[in-house]
Amino acid sequence: MLRSRQHRRSDGFTLLELMIVVTVIAVMAAVAGPSIAAGVQEQRSARAASDMVRLMTRARSASQGYGRAYLARYTAVSGGGNGSIQVYRGLNNRCNATDWPTVMLGTCASNPLCIESLDMREYARGDQTVRMRAPGHNPLDICFEPSGRTFYRRSASGIGGRFTDRNTSADRLFGGFRFSFVRRVGGTPKGVTRWVVVPLGGDARVLR
């Protein structure tokens, strides 16, 4: 019986062994931490691209479902300087017949005609951000009509001008406008650049 109690007292870890284990775990966490953080932010970048597809698909289908024109406005300087898109519901079924300056009054949060927004600040954590850009276009308005037609316009002032569906300024290779999503650390691009194309007359999609 005495031998058995002595054996049990010798089981378990010593303080030195516990300290070694804790040190090893700390070192592994320090080494893996940046990689884990980068992986999480890459997931946010991928989610931002997917949310862009969902937003544009919703605007196009809502236009057909409600019989009104829907406008998606992109600006590069919004969203904390990383870009944002706001979607507005028009007052009739024509892009060029809607008084969009009146529709877009105020902020999206206070405007009942602003149905949803995609703000890149929602995907930022610390010095890691996701930047959305439509190369060569700022600002850019993409308008969906119930007929299924897609129109666009560009304006230096951000408001005004007529819409067109002629594929002249759009990216001819893809038949529509491309949006890039890039993870940035301290303002420096990192990782994979993801692309979303919004075609003139079709559903948005992520380019593979």
Query: Could you tell me if residue 1 is inside a domain?
Result: no
> In DSSP terms, which residues pair with 118 in a beta bridge?
85
Query: Could you tell me if residue 20 is inside a domain?
Result: no
> In DSSP terms, which residues pair with 141 in a beta bridge?
73, 153
**CA-to-CA distance for 140 and 151, rounded, in angstroms?**
11
Least confident range from 74-83, 96-105, 113-122, 148-157: namely: 148-157
Query: 99 lies in which domain range?
Result: 52-206
Q: Are 201 and 165 in contact (CB under 8 A)?
A: yes
> In DSSP terms, which residues pair with 182 in a beta bridge?
131, 193
pTM of structure? 0.79
Helix or strand run (H / E) with residue 184: strand 176-185
Domain total for the chain? 1
What tens digit of pLDDT does each residue of 128-168 get? 899 999 998 889 999 999 999 999 998 654 556 889 988 77
Query: Could you tell me if residue 131 is inside a domain?
Result: yes
Instruction: State the DSSP code for 123.
Output: G
Q: State the pLDDT at residue 201.
A: 84
Q: State the pLDDT at residue 40.
A: 59
Query: Could you tell me if residue 197 is inside a domain?
Result: yes
Instruction: State the DSSP code for 125.
Output: B
Query: Could you tell me if residue 4 is inside a domain?
Result: no
